Amino acid sequence: MDRNEKHITTPLTDETVRSLHAGDQVRITGVIYTARDAAHKKLAELLAAGESLPFDPAGQIIYYTGPTPAPPGRPIGSCGPTTSYRMDRYTPALLAAGLKGMIGKGRRGQAVLDAIRENTCVYFSAEGGCGALLANYVKRCDVVAFPELGTEAVHRLEVENFPVSVFCDWTGELYSPYL
């Protein structure tokens, strides 16, 4: 195991979030929820209307991905991260509602970085373009909201040792080998 590799389970507590530092290699086990562009728009509309979300965001992680259909005998198809900045407009409201973590790829805007600090959250990066590899760490996949969105529906994933790294930690420190 990598010297700096850490294992965490969901849902996340503030204590867990504070134990993670920019650049750490992290393995996630537990439940995570998928949402990308179209689902974020719907989640934001629900929050703005004061309605409850289809899952309780408290302590949870959202993974920005839209998987390919599961072939026979597998729980999910290819499921790598999509580019995160497209979700920036919707993110601060979700973090204020209790969401603790996000998994995606690439840079975030300043408003998101500020919201990460203010709410003690963490933004993880998964290896972009490696959806076939990352599918191996997903043990179960169920659609829990917005099935009409197809790949963009909210899926509940059960993951084991899902590999990510910390791109932005709760103090706002950033790490990427490409920055």
Partner 1 sequence: MSLRQIDARRLTDAVAELYVRACLVLPESVKAKLYAFGNPYIIENFEKNGNIPLCQDTGMAAVYLEVGQDVHLTGDIPAAVDEGVRRAVKEGYLRSSIVADPLRRQNTGDNTPAAIYTELVPGDRVKVTVAPRGFGCENKARIAMLTPADGIEGVKAFVLETAKMAVPDACPPVMIGVGIGGNFDLVAHIAKRAVLREGPNPDSFYAALEQELYEATKKFSIGVNILAAPTHIAGLPCAVSIGCHSLRYASEVL
**Omega before 163 within 30 of 0, i.e. cis:** no
State in Å, rounded, how far the first CA of the chain is from the last one.
25
Pick the closer one to partner 1 by CB: 59 or 85. Answer: 85
82 binds partner 1 (CB under 8 A): yes
CA dihedral sign of residues 58, 60, 62, 68: negative
Minimum gap (Å) between residue 131 Cβ and partner 1: 4
Binding to partner 1 by CB under 8 A, coded x per residue (else -) over 30-69, reads: --------x--------------------------xxxxx
Nearest to 90 by CA among 39, 55, 125: 39
Q: With CB under 8 A as the contact rule, which of the stretches 5-13, 92-100, 111-119, 130-138 interacts with partner 1?
A: 130-138
DSSP conformation class of 105: B
In three-state secondary structure terms, 121 is: coil
Binding interface with partner 1 (CB under 8 A): 38, 65-71, 74, 77-80, 82-85, 105-107, 125, 127-133, 135-136, 149-152, 163, 176-179
